[in-house]
Chains A and B, each alone.
Chain A
Amino acid sequence: MSGPVYNFAYLNEQTKRMIRRAILKAVAIPGYQVPFAAREMPMPLGWGTGGVQVTAACLTQDDILKVIDQGADDTTNAVSIRKFFVKTAGIATTDVTDDATIIQTRHRIPETPLNENQILVYQVPIPEPLRFLEPRETETRKMHALEEYGVMHVKLYEDIARFGEIATAYDYPALVNDRYVFDPSPIPKFDNPKLNNSAALQLFGAGREKRIYAIPPHTKVKSLDFEDFPFSLPKWDKPCAICGSQTSYLDEIVMDDQGGRMFVCSDTDHCRKTQALK
């Protein structure tokens, strides 16, 4: 019995070359969205087809892959993408952040600081930070060309005028290498400081929108803010209910019908590690 035969990491070699060329351009122009000819993948758009294509173009046989969805290794999206690469590339996988060489992520940056031998691949739904402010691609392209980012500050100002603070809690826009305003994908703004001066290469893939962008290691990434309303991080009253971590990003979990709530680490590997230390 023989199953279907795949090329290594599913994509054909010509597609990988096209994606690799786009990745190299993206690294050379940090924060700029490089158009690429995204292929149809055997999973629906919105399930991380952009991240999957970037990962497929980067994978070698020696890589150890970790896939997370909202910080967890055991959620549907993470499990199916991990299985996809085991099936089509035969590579090793891990849940442990430190052991991974490529980490594909949906909407979180691991709590464990990354090292320079790691690549973090983000799944991006809407790569254009200005899209909800200006729907026309021709216009947003011009705005990036002219560094015309005033409208983004107006949006943040309107937050302050309405709510008394910058209410944007995820997808928080940042300026890369003092040039391009970029969309860090829907990571919580809690993770934005980890984008800055990271030791690892960060690659972003948007499959439906057909864009790839990158932040090389040791690159300045500054979250947009105002002098009198500086960028601030969310805080929790209690530590993680399982591991007791006071520094990690917590998810709120509904426990019962009586309004019981529990706050636990969103990063399952970090939570496990902290428990083991206790």
Chain B
Amino acid sequence: MIEVDSSAQNQAKIFRLILEAMSHPGRIVDFKVPSLCPPYGLSAEMATLLITLCDFQTSIWMKSKAVGIEKFLRFHAGATFTNTKSAATYAIVNDPEKLSSLEEFAQGTHEYPDRSTTLVIQVDTMSNDGRISLAGPGIANQTRFNVEKLGVVFWANVAANHAQYPLGVDLIFVSKGKIAAIPRSTQVQVQGQD
């Protein structure tokens, strides 16, 4: 007999969407999430992703810790929080345009490059056009990727992140109903100037 547990089903489906995004960098995947009422500062997409991936074995970093968000994720995922970027398995980034560098997050070590932070970045809109071109594993030739409000500084940081491959952080972008990813293996190039 099989116990039909809708949360197990949902989490499996959500994971497959995250996996699709991660295996096809730059692809903007439809991210239908269950109706949730996360606290202010945490979108339903961000909340769903963190609940799917986090538990007592992971620690989350966020810039200005909001008690509501912390309580919510502690209750639903059992996740722990950290104030140290380099100790975080996941980082909640709500204002990526203010992110000065990616270097302070855990980059992994040469022997264990997997011991790195995954940034989950909240954005307004993503599209497959513009001046950022992506190439590498998961991309047939190359693809374009654009995030509203994110300028040259951010993308220079992402390019620098790739330059130290296999070390570095992995990026997951969420917006209303969408998810996309740029893992460290992706080569990022900015075409033209700002």
Contacts and interface: CB of A to CB of B under 8 A. Distances in A.
Interface in A13-31: 13-14, 16-18, 20-30
A219 interface: yes
A146 B24 CA distance: 28
Contacts of A57: 15
A7 B8 contact: yes
Interface size class of A (residues with CB under 8 A): 35 or more
Interface stretch (A38-46, A58-66, A239-247): A58-66
B36 to A, nearest CB: 17
Given A28-B170, A29-B166, A32-B114, A60 B9 contact: yes
Secondary structure class of chain A's binding surface, majority of residues: mixed
Contacts of B24: 216-217
Nearest to B1: A3
Contact of A17 (B55, B109, B110, B165): B55
A27 B114 contact: no
Secondary structure class of chain B's binding surface, majority of residues: loop
A109 interface: no
Which of B18, B23, B184, B185 has the most chain A CB atoms closer than 10 A to its own CB?
B23
A59 B12 contact: yes
Interface of B: 1-5, 7-9, 11-13, 15-16, 18-19, 22-24, 52-55, 57-58, 89, 109-114, 116, 118, 136-140, 165-166, 170, 183-185
30 contacts: A3-B1, A8-B4, A8-B5, A13-B11, A17-B52, A17-B53, A18-B55, A20-B18, A23-B19, A24-B22, A24-B118, A25-B116, A29-B113, A29-B184, A29-B185, A32-B114, A58-B15, A60-B9, A60-B13, A61-B9, A142-B111, A177-B137, A179-B165, A180-B166, A215-B137, A216-B185, A217-B23, A217-B138, A218-B139, A218-B140
